[in-house]
């Protein structure tokens, strides 16, 4: 039964990807975004465009565009990005003033990422106990099991498979279902909703529509667990603080974990596999030396920085930011991929993937400050298990197409591809 579920999910993933040809969260569809805003989202293959490094060299806090008197600032420096992301006095994450009622049709577009303290603090406190190492440890055997099962799916389908659908999308999706404690039989429905929300071909409003549908799904899952709490995040929050939280808020928290954790982890798995397919030496050591797994995962997180920019921050007050005058209402965008390549903080040669360095390179791939990724440890657990197991099973795996044929998303906050054809046996 479980195997069937997984195969079906893989099939649904492939159909969805083929049907939608989706382009991630396409900011160009949101008419308020000027073209120049998109530079921090552009890459050449896996690397940010050179204009990003030039912007940092010119000014780590730089005006990117001006629109009806509202400035959009781009932050590409490491220390500068940390300062913005940690500042709860000068900035708000509440996007509603910008999208108006489109995004807030039902009064709430959901997710911790869009809320400010004290509401953010209240909601985050409910979520964090479920992400402690102790609670996450229960997922370790599940993660291994899910990965092994997907490897079997790949082997059965080989010698050529789509790494994205058959492995990279499927693994974090099934892990999040385990995290939330969703019953097996509801997972396909949930998967379809999750895919729809990233397809914004109908414009920003349509994608917000899909967001509210998947939130309704999770709200109903919450209602169903009120009487019989499951062993996952939803059930545990109900058991511990059920009286303090509505189904709507808990559905929103679960939804935020799903939005934050699926596409991001999927992209890091797939793009990371692509890096490793091209790096024979690292791949060989990764599968034979357990102590090498951590450095590879940390460097991969830094190098790929799949969440290219943090959520936009809206200035609440006029203030100075590293010599620039920010006005109330201005938008500040922190380029995490730019910050992670800032040689002033972390030394030279940060443009390349290099897990062999003998000094630790810090990164802010998971953000920084009070909105820092709540699922960072879970993501690391998945990556630490996924890369070595994938290459132990298929040590000679290669891309089945020329890298130039891969359809990298052009304007997506979460960088990635929708399909990655690979040959399992070289």
- Note whether 378 binds ligand HEM by CB under 6 A: yes
**Contact predicate 226/245, CB 8 Å:** no
The whole-angstrom separation of Cα 9 and Cα 153 is 11
Stretch that binds ligand HEM, among 148-156, 185-193, 346-354, 361-369 (CB under 6 A): 361-369
Stretch that binds ligand HEM, among 33-41, 153-161, 369-377, 401-409 (CB under 6 A): 369-377
The whole-angstrom separation of Cα 189 and Cα 208 is 18
Q: State how far the alpha carbon of 236 is from the alpha carbons of 111, 179, 205, 222, in Å.
A: 19, 10, 33, 11
- Note whether 194 binds ligand HEM by CB under 6 A: no
- Note whether 268 binds ligand HEM by CB under 6 A: yes
Stretch that binds ligand HEM, among 145-153, 283-291, 338-346, 360-368 (CB under 6 A): 360-368
- Note whether 409 binds ligand HEM by CB under 6 A: no
- Note whether 61 binds ligand HEM by CB under 6 A: no
Classify 413 as helix, strand or coil: coil
For residues 298 to 337, the per-residue mask of contacts with ligand HEM, x marking binding by CB under 6 A and - elsewhere, is --------xx--xx------------------------x-
- Note whether 232 binds ligand HEM by CB under 6 A: no
Q: In the bound complex, what is the minimum distance in angstroms from residue 382's beta carbon to ligand HEM?
A: 7
Total count of residues recorded for the chain: 426
**Binder of ligand HEM out of 165, 168, 176, 196 (CB under 6 A):** 176
Nearest CA among 386, 417, 413 for reference residue 400: 417
The whole-angstrom separation of Cα 212 and Cα 206 is 10
- Note whether 423 binds ligand HEM by CB under 6 A: no
Evaluated on CA atoms 241, 242, 248, 250, the torsion sign reads: positive
Ramachandran bin of 349, using left for φ above 0, alpha for ψ from -120 to 50, beta for the remaining angles = left
Stretch that binds ligand HEM, among 102-110, 241-249, 252-260, 403-411 (CB under 6 A): 252-260
The whole-angstrom separation of Cα 102 and Cα 325 is 30
- Note whether 260 binds ligand HEM by CB under 6 A: yes
- Note whether 82 binds ligand HEM by CB under 6 A: no
The whole-angstrom separation of Cα 178 and Cα 145 is 12
- Note whether 338 binds ligand HEM by CB under 6 A: no
**Binder of ligand HEM out of 261, 338, 388, 416 (CB under 6 A):** 261
- Note whether 275 binds ligand HEM by CB under 6 A: no
Max CA separation in the chain (angstroms) = 61
The whole-angstrom separation of Cα 140 and Cα 381 is 8
Q: In the bound complex, what is the minimum distance in angstroms from residue 76's beta carbon to ligand HEM?
A: 15
Residues that bind ligand HEM (CB under 6 A): 85, 112-113, 124, 176, 179, 256-257, 260-261, 264-265, 268, 306-307, 310-311, 336, 365-367, 371, 373-375, 378-379
């Amino acid at each position: 039964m479980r195997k069937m579920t997984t195969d079906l999910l893989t099939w649904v993933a492939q159909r969805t990807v083929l049907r939608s040809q989706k382009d991630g969260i396409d900011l160009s569809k949101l008419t308020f975004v000027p073209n120049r805003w998109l530079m921090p989202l552009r890459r050449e293959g896996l690397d940010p465009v050179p204009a990003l490094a030039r912007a940092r060299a010119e000014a780590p806090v730089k005006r990117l565009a001006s629109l009806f008197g509202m400035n959009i600032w781009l932050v590409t420096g490491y220390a500068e990005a940390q300062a913005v992301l940690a500042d709860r006095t000068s900035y708000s994450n509440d996007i509603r003033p910008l999208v108006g009622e489109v995004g807030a049709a039902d009064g709430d577009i959901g997710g911790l990422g869009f809320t400010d303290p004290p509401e953010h603090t209240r909601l985050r406190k409910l979520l964090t106990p479920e992400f402690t190492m102790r609670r996450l440890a229960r997922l370790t055997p599940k993660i291994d099991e899910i990965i092994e099962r997907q490897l079997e799916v790949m082997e059965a389908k080989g010698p050529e498979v789509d790494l994205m659908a058959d492995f990279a999308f499927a693994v974090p999706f099934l892990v999040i279902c385990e995290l939330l404690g969703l019953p097996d039989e509801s997972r396909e429905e949930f998967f379809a909703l999750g895919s729809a929300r990233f397809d914004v071909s109908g414009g920003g409003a349509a994608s917000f529509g899909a967001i509210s549908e998947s939130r309704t799904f999770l709200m109903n899952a919450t209602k169903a667990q009120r009487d019989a709490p499951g062993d996952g995040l939803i059930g545990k929050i109900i058991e511990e603080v059920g009286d303090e939280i509505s189904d709507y808020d808990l559905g929103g928290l679960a939804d935020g974990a799903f939005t934050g954790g699926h596409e991001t982890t999927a992209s890091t798995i797939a793009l990371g596999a692509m890096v490793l397919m091209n790096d024979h030496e690292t791949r060989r050591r990764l599968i034979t030396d357990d102590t090498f797994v951590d450095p590879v995962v940390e460097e991969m997180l830094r190098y790929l920085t799949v969440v290219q920019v943090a959520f936009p921050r809206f200035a609440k007050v006029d203030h100075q930011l590293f010599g620039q005058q920010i006005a109330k209402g201005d938008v500040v965008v922190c380029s995490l991929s730019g910050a992670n390549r800032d040689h002033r903080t972390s030394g030279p040669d940060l443009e390349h993937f290099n897990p062999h360095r003998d000094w630790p390179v810090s990164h802010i791939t998971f953000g920084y400050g009070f909105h820092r990724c709540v699922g960072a440890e879970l993501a690391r657990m998945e990556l630490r298990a996924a890369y070595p197991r994938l290459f132990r099973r298929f040590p000679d795996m290669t891309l089945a197409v020329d890298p130039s044929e891969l359809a990298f998303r052009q304007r997506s906050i979460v960088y990635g591809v929708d399909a990655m054809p690979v040959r399992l046996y070289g």
